[in-house]
Amino acid sequence: RALPVEFVPIKFASWIGGDRDGNPNVTPKVTEEVVCNQRLRAAKLFLDEFNALYNELAISTRFSPEMEALAATITDSHDVLEKYRRVCGHMRKRLIKTIKDCELESERLTSKDSGVACEVGAVSQLSGWQNVKSVRTSEDLMEPLMIMYNSLTST
């Protein structure tokens, strides 16, 4: 029997930067730097996955009402007819924005290059990333993914 798609059987956690039970080297600033760097790494991984998903999606003409509504909220896209790609493309822009925000924050926190800068070669192809909101919560990723998943499996 398959697990529900939203089920999370394993959760990863880390104490890196959070070991503040007496370690004098782990200050609030260190924790903030670690969280920023981990957010940056996660955004890079998600961007890779959304790039792959964008390239794998086939053209479709059948969509759930929720998918139609979500795609209609994205007006700055060259994917006019390809609604799944429109949503994926928008998420790619949001992740690029997230990466850039994290890089700036990391530089501010460390007063130097973080060493984890992302090579965002697709930036020129995804113009408009400056005008979208960065990804801040897991729901920012899961909501559009679940809408696409439900649309793909129901139509």
Question: Which of 11-25, 72-86, 89-103, 108-122 bottoms out in mean pLDDT, i.e. has the lowest?
Answer: 108-122
Give the pLDDT of residue 130.
Answer: 85
Residue 24 in this model has a pLDDT that exceeds 80: yes
What integer is the mean pLDDT of 133-139? 93
* Joined tokens for residue 59: 């053209």
CB 96 within 8 A of CB 120: yes
What integer is the mean pLDDT of 42-55? 95
Give the pLDDT of residue 114.
Answer: 43
Give the pLDDT of residue 112.
Answer: 55
C-alpha–C-alpha distance, residues 120 and 12, integer Å: 26
Give the pLDDT of residue 51.
Answer: 95
The size of the chain, in residues, is: 155
Give the pLDDT of residue 44.
Answer: 95
Kindly report the three-state secondary structure assignment for every residue of the chain.
Answer: CCCCCCCCCCCCCCCCCCCCCCCCCCCHHHHHHHHHHHHHHHHHHHHHHHHHHHHHCCCCCCCCHHHHHHHHCCCCCCCCCCHHHHHHHHHHHHHHHHHHHHHHHHHHHHCCCCCCCCCCHHHCCCCCHHHCCCCCCHHHHHHHHHHHHHHHHHC
Greater confidence, 66 or 124?
66
Give the pLDDT of residue 116.
Answer: 45
Q: What is the pLDDT of residues 86-100, one digit of tens each?
A: 999 999 999 999 999
Give the pLDDT of residue 25.
Answer: 82
Give the pLDDT of residue 139.
Answer: 94
Give the pLDDT of residue 118.
Answer: 47
